[in-house]
Amino acid sequence: RKPNNFPPGPKWLPIIGCAWELSNLHKAKGSLSEVAQELALKYGSVIGTKVGRTLTVFVYGTKAYKELLSKDDLNGRPDDIFSTSRTLGKRREQKKFLMRHLKETVFNKIVLEEILAEQVHTIIHDIKKTIESDGVICITNLFPVHALDSIYILMTGDKCSDQEMEELHKVMTSFSENISSTGMLFSHFPFLRYICPDYCGYNTYVNIHKKILAFISKKVKILKEICGPQPSRGFIQAYLEKINSVKGQSDFSEEELLAMCLDLLAAGFDTTSNTLGFTFLYLLLHPEVQERAQEEIDSVIGKGRPPTLEDRPQLPYVESIVLESIRLITSRSLALPRRAIRDSTLNGYFIPKDTILQGSVRGTFFDESTGWKNPEVFNPDRFMKDGNLCIPDTFIPFGSGKRRCVGEIMARANIFLIVACLLQTFNFRSLPGSPPKADFAEDFSPAVKPFKAFVTLR
């Protein structure tokens, strides 16, 4: 039965709850974020549903979403089968340690520049090689290895060998293609894993996670053996040092370390490379935006040296392209699922303990009433005012509060540097007679379907 004052929403059927209606809406709309938008039009900004046995509340719209992010009672990690079967049991909250480490090491401007510049150089080298043949490049293939390498360096302090990268890339691609961040059939109907573990996705889910954890575990073992007294910039080494220093008298453990590295890979891999896919798709569809960015780069930097992170304040238009691409990709996804850790309220409705809350950032920056004009259109100028960068308060694509993205600094720097360096060196054009379509897929995070471009040296 529906709890008293539970948010309004679609009708609950016996056993499946609203699963049928949600699944049909998902097929019709293409992304869960658009499902939330559709439901919000009918029921308001907080929508109560039930999928299998799980109470799930969708949150859409700036006011309700901000209230959700601000309430500790509603920001717990889910502890259902979907969460626990991937990370070896319950999780403790050690995000502060990770954030402090990243701030002191990798997110230090000089280190970040060093990590990213080398990789951008490799991408430029690869593109130049293709130009020597026919200049036709599958754009969506350019970025995944690069994004993985950045996260690998963040974890280990070192570059990934070719052999390790082959292994990691294979398993992470399979992760992105087969696993949905918002749950799978077995997580909504946990009993199915005993009846049809292949069909409900349980076996795939567990096997892929086992492979990723085995990869990280192998690396942890190697780094443990060479762990020395000198400070290292890798997260794994910093964490191992912490375990040693507290000597088993705290929650720091190797299991927790593996789970945190898994989160970094899962959350940072295709979000970064897929955003770059979005960026270059829109640059092909809007050659005038590409030309204006190139004019900015030419006038501030010229061609004598590559752009650096120091140049960011002088390249507001390039920065606005990055923000607009992030706006468009995140508007197709939901924020991380949260769990009510005790009975609470949202927008005046009752939210029982253990309800799952799915917030949609789309509602915060696709809302014409809060100033986002023609939100479906790619328009970097919405982030510009009088020639300067201007970011509205309602733009929170990396979340805020307890569950906020830990990789924002790296992701924005990475995308900025790639866009600036590639546009300084190359022109990207549609293949004659076949401009790419704005065709989307839903991998672990939203993606554009693979597309090619004709690239020439400037």
Binding residues for heme: 405
Nearer to ligand HEM, 330 or 364 (CB): 330
Considering the rule CB under 6 A, would residue 140 count as an interface residue with ligand HEM? no
With contacts defined by CB under 6 A, name the span among 21-29, 345-353, 375-383, 395-403 that binds ligand HEM: 395-403
Nearer to ligand HEM, 3 or 164 (CB): 164
Nearer to ligand HEM, 21 or 54 (CB): 54
Nearer to ligand HEM, 127 or 147 (CB): 147
Q: Write the CA distances from 443 to 95, 222, 387, integer angstroms.
A: 25, 32, 36
Q: Which amino acid is at 408?
A: E
CB 456 within 8 A of CB 427: yes
Number of residues lying near ligand HEM (CB under 6 A): 24
Site track 85-114 with ligand HEM (rule: CB under 6 A), x = hit = ----------x-------------------
With contacts defined by CB under 6 A, name the span among 6-14, 112-120, 234-242, 393-401 that binds ligand HEM: 393-401
Which residues does 151 contact at the CB level (< 8 Å), separation at least 6?
264, 265, 268, 269, 407
Nearer to ligand HEM, 151 or 200 (CB): 151
Region of 61 on the Ramachandran plot (φ > 0 left; ψ -120 to 50 alpha; else beta): left
Nearest-5° angle of CA 282, CA 283, CA 286? Answer: 85
Identified binder of ligand HEM from the candidate list 407, 426, 446, 453, rule CB under 6 A: 407
With contacts defined by CB under 6 A, name the span among 16-24, 180-188, 247-255, 392-400 that binds ligand HEM: 392-400
Beta bridge partners of 49: 56
Identified binder of ligand HEM from the candidate list 277, 399, 436, 446, rule CB under 6 A: 399
Q: What are phi and psi of 346, to 5 degrees?
A: -145, 125
Considering the rule CB under 6 A, would residue 271 count as an interface residue with ligand HEM? yes
CA distance 27 to 230: 54
Identified binder of ligand HEM from the candidate list 275, 290, 355, 360, rule CB under 6 A: 275
Nearer to ligand HEM, 17 or 399 (CB): 399
Cα–chain center distance at 316: 23
For the beta sheet containing 338-339, the strands, ordered from the edge strand earlier in sequence to the opposite edge, are 46-51, 54-60, 356-360, 338-339
Identified binder of ligand HEM from the candidate list 32, 185, 267, 346, rule CB under 6 A: 267
Looking at residues 311 to 330 of the shown chain, list those that interact with ligand HEM (rule: CB under 6 A). 326, 330
Q: Which amino acid is at 185?
A: L
Give the tokens for residue 275.
Answer: 């955003």
Nearer to ligand HEM, 140 or 193 (CB): 140
In angstroms, what is the C-alpha Rg of the chain? 22
* Residue position matching structure tokens 């896919």: 277
CB 370 within 8 A of CB 69: no
In the complex, minimum distance from the CB of residue 171 to ligand HEM, in angstroms, rounded to a whole number: 17
Contacting residues toward ligand HEM, per CB under 6 A: 95, 151, 154, 263-264, 267-268, 271-272, 275, 326, 330, 335-336, 397-399, 403-407, 410-411
